[in-house]
Amino acid sequence: MTALADPLAPAPAAPAAARPVNRARRRAQILHHIVLIFGVLLMCGPMVVTFMSSTWDPVVIHSEGLQLGYGGKFLETYETVLLKGGGFTGEITGTLMLWNSVLLGLGFAIGKIVISMLAAYAIVYFRFPFASLAFWVIFATLLLPLEVRILPSYEVVQRLGMLNSWSGLILPLIASATATFFFRQFFRSIPDELLEAARIDGAGPFRFFVDILAPLSKTMMAAIFIIMFVVGWNQYLWPALMTTDESMFTIVRGIRQILQVWIGANIPDYNQALALAILAMAPPALVVLVFQRMFIKGLVETEK
């Protein structure tokens, strides 16, 4: 807050005049902080409750409800969740599911970036018949989300014999109208002279893409990577349909699965389910935290 307020501070005026201004500003700051703290509580409260509860014995959770204090069983619970085989086959661990989610998230995000950059490159920089029609057709697919076309998609993947494979899980999802649109807008904002200078410098279409367009798109790629990684990570319906092999389960699916299977005992392992939920939430949150600066840069700043 102070960092924000300081550059705006008026040049040192007469001290008498400055004082009421300072007081007004202080009051505004306090108000701002109250609003911000409220927002933080709203966002973090459920996470904290989930985490705290996951460190308690399931019996306590069952009888006394969710906990706000630390229960002392952090290590046992998380060790069990991460390393103990579970599921129908008894072979799937939390670590494996996390790894699967990372694979899906990465494949999903990287695939989308590659495909949509190439598509946008073709649309913006190459003159071919019906280029803008092609773009709008791609754009129109936004009207057909996965849920709408899930049956035909399943059919196609199944016919190709790609069920229970990573390629079957990832490839059908990586065409992205949204990312193509973002890259198209970005490429269009790059001055034509840059392409012309590169042409004079002897860069062909491939060199221009690799040496100039791709490095310039770095922040844009980071922004899209974050969004798409989180989207990929959170996929539920599609992996549930495409993979029946438990060794390919993602963590988002695993939460439900584990709760369901382990319900055999008298008291469900609430603590483990909650721990899984925390594990499922942490990596996307980390990605956002780490890439946050680039993300914002990608959206607001242009290095041209």
Partner 1 sequence: MTVTLDAAANAAANAAVNAPASAPANAPVIAAAAAPAASAEPTLVIDGAVKRYPNGAVAVRGVTIEVGQGELVVFVGPSGCGKSTLLRMVAGLEDITEGEIRIAGRRVNEVEPAERDIAMVFQNYALYPHMTVRQNLAYGLKNRGTDKAEIARKVAEAAAMLQIEDFLDRKPSQLSGGQRQRVAMGRCIVRDPSLFLFDEPLSNLDARLRTQMRLEIRKLQRRLKVSAIYVTHDQVEAMTLADRIVVLNGGQVEQVGAPSEVYARPASTFVAAFIGAPAMNLIPAELAGGALRIGAEAVPFAAPPAGMAPGFVTLGLRPEKARVVPQAERAGGLPFTLDAVEELGASRLLHGRAAGADVVTAADAALPIPQGPLALHADPADLHFFDAVTGTRL
Residues of the shown chain interacting with partner 1 in the complex, contacts defined by CB under 8 A: 191, 193-194, 196-203, 207, 211-212, 215-216, 218, 303-304
CB of 212 to partner 1, least distance (A): 6
CB of 246 to partner 1, least distance (A): 45
How many whole angstroms separate alpha carbon 274 and alpha carbon 285?
Answer: 16
CB of 131 to partner 1, least distance (A): 14
**Own/partner pairs, 81-84, CB within 8 angstroms, 24+ separation:** 81/272, 81/275, 81/276, 81/279, 82/279
Do 52 and 69 meet the contact criterion of CB atoms below 8 Å apart? yes
Quick one: which of 93, 107, 84, 118 has its CA closest to 242? 107
How many whole angstroms separate alpha carbon 233 and alpha carbon 246?
Answer: 17
Packing angle of the helix pair 131-140, 177-189 (nearest 10 deg)? 140
CB of 124 to partner 1, least distance (A): 17
How many whole angstroms separate alpha carbon 21 and alpha carbon 16?
Answer: 10
In sequence order, which residues have a C-beta less than 8 Å from that of residue 201 and are 6 or more positions away?
A: none
72 sits in the region (left: phi over 0; alpha: psi -120 to 50; else beta) called: left
Packing angle of the helix pair 218-233, 94-125 (nearest 10 deg)? 140
CB of 127 to partner 1, least distance (A): 10
CB of 8 to partner 1, least distance (A): 25
Between 122 and 190, CB nearer to partner 1: 190
